[in-house]
Copies of this chain bind each other. A is one copy, B any other.
Amino acid sequence: MRESVTNDTNQKELVKRFCSVRDESLAIIEPLTVEDCQLQAMADASPTKWHLAHTTWFFETFLLSVHCKHYAVFNPHYKMLFNSYYNGIGEQFKRANRGSLSRPGLDEVLAYREYVDSRVIELLKTDVDPHIKDIIELGLNHEQQHQELMLMDIKYNFSVNPLFPQYKTSLLNSQKKSADIKPLNFINFEQAIINIGTNADDEFAYDNECPKHQVLIHPFSFANRLVTNGEYLDFINAGGYSNPQYWLSDGWAHIQNSRLTHPLYMHCINNEWFEFTHYGLQPLNLSAPISHVSYFEASAYANFVKARLPTEFEWEYAAKNTPLTDTNNNYLTPQQAKDDTEINQLTDSCWQWTNSAYLPYPGFKPIEGVAGEYNGKFMNNQMVLRGGCVFTPQNHLRQTYRNFYYPHQAWMCSGIRLAKDIV
């Protein structure tokens, strides 16, 4: 589809990677209708079309408009329409109304992508300085984040439709039968002073993972796998949603106000449990990890079983001490662990709520310039999730990766990893 004539091998590689990541976004929309691409069933769940345009706007705004001589923007209105939250760039179209834009249509957005892609590839045929490569790298990681968001948002946007549409039409065999599941086991970790985060010297990392710094870890134990749907059902059946003793005060208020009696995508129909998935409504797989739970739910469940959530530092420590054999190709199925002493499901199932607030590391500095709004300004009232999930693109993850959501949110693929103090 695109070709490159740059001599610099490095830049050739970058073009290849650029094309590959950009193509991945298009692959995501293949099963969707034009109408599907415009859905926005809540403020948080942007239309697929908007994601396609916004990730393109990112390259246009931070790369082409700044570093490409004589660049003519595709459409001057897009500056505002597809700006997510960058006050430094200017006004933004109201987030909750993104689904109210039928124009530009999907075709025009795809043309916008082609236009910007060809300019970026053109630019990479010339000798560019390292700073430009950094912006492209940031843009590609940004696009991968949005690929995960697209899959989350499609799931949510479909979920409000009583027809329970299917995003993917065939269910893998592995899905259909319940996998073997290892007994829950807690692995002990000693007290230690460890390095947390990264300086992003060699490998790309977001500013919020930096700088690398020492943290003193107290002795703790860490669950070998995630909590399953079956285990979580025990909590529901024991009256977990009607007993305030397990819940944070804000969490109890939240489930009362929203009249919640189970996680977001679970449905109890004629006394049988189902789960809304990308494959439509499916019987609940009891041995699969519970997913799409809020921090409030994760914390209440941990209280119920007299455990707690790990801190993000404990999680990183445990992850760094675990051979990363996880692969990213199962779909909501627990990976087969060799035995229950091996830590599993670190990155391939669900993001894992930690008990750490999303706050700056000591010495944190936002990226310079307007892109500095990327991470830092959200360091408030959100909790860190670690790991990765089935929606996360391959090679997007790192052990130091910090994801973050508000405690009440549940439309991302979030699960529960337990931990305990050792006393």
Contacts and interface: CB of A to CB of B under 8 A. Distances in A.
B36 A102 contact: yes
11 contacts: A77-B163, A85-B249, A87-B245, A99-B100, A101-B161, A102-B157, A193-B216, A250-B381, A252-B377, A295-B380, A363-B423
B218 A165 contact: no
A33 to B, nearest CB: 5
Interface of A: 33-36, 38-41, 77, 80-81, 85, 87-88, 93, 97, 99-106, 157-158, 160-163, 165, 193, 213-216, 218, 220, 244-245, 247-252, 295-296, 308, 355-357, 359-360, 362-363, 377-381, 407, 421, 423
A250 B380 contact: yes
Contact of A35 (B35, B80, B359): B35
A359 B359 contact: no
Nearest to A104: B163
Nearest to A250: B380
Contacts of A41: 97, 100
Contacts of A97: 41, 160
Contacts of A249: 85, 377-378, 380
With most chain B CB atoms within 10 A of its CB, the pick from A33, A81, A93, A106 is: A33
Contact of A157 (B100, B163, B356, B381): B100
A35 B105 contact: yes
A32 to B, nearest CB: 8
Contact of A103 (B99, B163, B423): B163
Contacts of A102: 33, 35-36, 38-39, 157-158, 161, 165
